[in-house]
């Protein structure tokens, strides 16, 4: 049960961080292209990869499985989002923004 609670809390924290960063980027550069979602997904992938490497069997940091689940499944899972990426790409295609939709996929 402790693992589920940790993942739920981490997911909530990651979701709030995603919402804040996406909004911050949108306020700075506009919403014509979903730069915030791209930044979230790139940084989230970097963090999960770095954390997995540092805390893996041959990593430099010794953490419990619960901490790994909290960070990798909870925080990073709540932070990164494929669903937002999909929705934004669909909206770009509906708006006939073919170049932006293609760039978002690439």
Q: In this predicted model, what pLDDT tens digit does every residue of 91-104 receive, in sequence order?
A: 899 899 999 999 98
Quote the mean pLDDT of the chain.
90
Q: Which pLDDT score, from 0 to 100, does residue 18 have? A: 95
Q: Can you give 31-61 as a three-state secondary structure string?
A: CCCCHHHHHHHHHHHHHHHHHHHHHCCCCCC
CA atoms within 13 A on the CB side of 41: 13
């Amino acid at each position: 049960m402790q693992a589920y609670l940790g993942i739920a809390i981490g997911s909530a924290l990651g979701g709030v961080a995603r919402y804040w960063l996406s909004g911050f980027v949108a306020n700075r550069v506009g919403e014509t292209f979903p730069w915030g979602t791209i930044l979230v997904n790139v940084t989230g992938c970097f963090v999960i990869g770095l954390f997995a490497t540092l805390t893996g069997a041959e990593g430099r940091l010794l953490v419990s499985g619960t901490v790994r689940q909290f960070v990798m499944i909870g925080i990073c899972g709540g932070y990164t989002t494929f669903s937002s990426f999909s929705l934004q790409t669909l909206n770009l295609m509906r708006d006939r923004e073919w170049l932006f939709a293609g760039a978002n996929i690439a």
